[in-house]
């Protein structure tokens, strides 16, 4: 696999992981008992920590990309793994009419 492909696929996993990780552990000002700024949205986070989100995102994306790459090398799941969806197996006991 080309290194540019590796980088592109890793970045896709990273962005996907960021959206998965971002809402974890976030609390609103109301949940934390903090005072809200006038005009602030009720859903605005009161404990946003971007460093922790970057760390979690990088870790999750590394694990997901690692699984993808190992599958790419060893071929555990390939396109033929899903042939049963398009061409369901025919039962031997089915009546032929």
Question: What phi and psi values does residue 23 have, to the nearest 5 degrees?
Answer: -80, -5
Determine, yes or no, domain membership for 56: yes
Determine, yes or no, domain membership for 83: no
Determine, yes or no, domain membership for 65: yes
Residue 77: strand, helix, or coil: coil
Determine, yes or no, domain membership for 40: no
CA distance 32 to 4: 44
* pLDDT score of 96: 57
Give Cα separations from 72 to 9, 10, 13, 25 (angstroms): 12, 13, 15, 33
Determine, yes or no, domain membership for 68: yes
What pTM, to 2 d.p., does this model score?
A: 0.75
* pLDDT score of 50: 93
Determine, yes or no, domain membership for 54: yes
pLDDT digits (tens, 9 = 90+) for 17-40: 999 999 998 998 889 988 888 898
pLDDT digits (tens, 9 = 90+) for 43-97: 889 888 999 999 999 999 999 999 999 999 998 988 888 787 887 767 676 565 4
Determine, yes or no, domain membership for 66: yes
* pLDDT score of 81: 82
Total number of domains constituting the chain: 1
Residues of the domain holding 67: 49-76
């Amino acid at each position: 696999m080309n290194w540019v492909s590796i980088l592109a696929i890793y970045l896709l996993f990273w962005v996907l992981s960021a959206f998965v990780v971002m809402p974890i552990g976030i609390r609103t000002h109301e949940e934390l008992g903090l005072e809200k700024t006038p005009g602030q949205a009720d859903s605005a986070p009161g404990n946003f920590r971007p460093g922790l989100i970057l760390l979690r995102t990088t870790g999750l994306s590394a694990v997901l990309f690692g699984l993808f790459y190992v599958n790419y090398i060893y071929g555990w799941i390939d396109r033929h793994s899903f042939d049963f969806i398009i061409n369901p197996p025919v039962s031997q006991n089915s009546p032929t009419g």
